[in-house]
């Protein structure tokens, strides 16, 4: 099991959180996505190592940007 935390900017509401959670959750191997809206922290748990680029692309697909993290 692997866990990585990213900082995502631009999220302002629960809909934003849902969009980011859904897009990251579609990455193969992801088992959990936890988002802390006030800080922008997104913690991704997976069965195996997930590429940081895959997470960044999923966040971009949701309409936001990763500014820091794995």
pLDDT tens, position by position, 6-63: 999 999 999 999 999 999 999 999 999 999 999 999 999 999 889 999 999 999 999 9
Please identify, in words, the CATH class of the domain defined by 2-69.
alpha beta
Closest CA to 19 of 5, 8, 3: 8
- Sketch the domain layout of the chain as residue ranges: 2-69
**Helix, strand and coil in the chain, % to nearest 5:** 35, 35, 30
Q: Are 7 and 41 in contact (CB under 8 A)?
A: yes
The pLDDT of residue 68: 87
The pLDDT of residue 31: 98
- Banded pLDDT at 69 (limits 50, 70, 90): confident
């Amino acid at each position: 099991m692997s866990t990585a935390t990213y900082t995502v900017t631009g999220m302002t509401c629960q809909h934003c959180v849902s969009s980011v959670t859904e897009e990251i959750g579609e990455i193969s191997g992801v088992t959990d996505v936890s988002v802390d809206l006030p800080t922008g922290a997104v913690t991704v748990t997976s069965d195996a190592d997930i590429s940081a680029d895959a997470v960044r692309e999923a966040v971009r697909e949701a309409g936001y940007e990763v500014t820091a993290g794995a």
